[in-house]
Every structure is written in structure tokens, then in C-alpha cells.
Amino acid sequence: MASTKMTPGDLGIDLSSGAPDQLYRWLLASILFGKRIQQEIAARTWHVLINHGLTSPEKLAAASRDELMRLLTEGGYVHYRWKEDDELHAVMARILKDYGSVEELVSGADSPQELRRRLEEFPGIGPVTAEIFQEWVPVRFNGTYSG
């Protein structure tokens, strides 16, 4: 697994339905995979966050900094945990404020380019993270998704 890119399926995420929880889970994974860290550590950290109940933007945004730091450490992050913590909080809080949900962030985009622009407006999400996320989100969910 070290030389191949992990996919949503590797994490048990099914994006084919566009289910809100699956879109959130893939966005969270994409944010972790988009950082300069081994993908195995990013995947382990994703599992730790999900297994500790951070299964929605609301739950992650409500987690304390101490809790997130502890979970990132448990996942294998040893450097820059505070930065990851702050970025995860900021992204999820802003998704809730600006869009209400990851589903609305995705479905409200008129095109893949619009979704990329929206993603890159979040702190800590650059072109690499946006590309990781978009590579697996079915295009039919951009601007035409109706639930």
C-alpha cells in the first residue's frame, strides 16, 4: 500500500450515493492525505477520528483542541498537531457557517472548477487536497445533485 494512492474504498467510504456522511468522511480523509505525512499515518489518524465519534463537521468542530491533539497523536502525528487541529476546526466550522454541510458545499457548486475554488478558500486546503477530494467525488454531484 505504500506506493499506491489510497482511495475512498480503502477506508470503507462509498461516494457513489453522495450520502452526506460519506462526503464528509472523504473530505476529512482528503485533508489528512493532502498534508506532508505518510498516507498510512493519515489513514490511521482518519480511523482514530472516526472511531472516536468525529463523524460529522458538527462533531469535529465541537471537539476541544486537547481532544483533537490527543487523537492526532494517537493516529501517529508527532509534529504540527496544533496546526492540523486548528485547520480541521477552521474548515469544519466554516463549512457549517458558509454552506451548512459538506453535501451543500459539493452540491451547490456549478462545476468541478467551482468546487475546487470553494475548497481552496478553506485554511489548509490547497490544490493537492482539492484534487485528492475531487478525484473521487462523482461529477454528477457538482451543481446538479438534488439529494
Mean pLDDT of 30-52: 94
State the pLDDT confidence band at 83, using cuts at 50, 70 and 90: low
State the pLDDT confidence band at 146, using cuts at 50, 70 and 90: very low
What SS3 string covers 24-58?
A: HHHHHHHHHHCCCCCHHHHHHHHHHHHHCCCCCHH
87-141 pLDDT, tens digit each: 898 999 999 999 999 999 998 998 889 999 999 999 989 999 999 999 998 877 7
60-75 pLDDT, tens digit each: 999 998 899 899 999 9
Q: What is the pLDDT of residue 80?
A: 58
Q: Specify the CATH superfamily of domain 18-141.
A: Hypothetical protein; domain 2 (1.10.340.30)
Cα gap 133→112, rounded to integer Å: 11
Q: Which residues, other chains included, contact 70 with Cβ-Cβ below 8 Å and sequence gap of 6+?
A: none
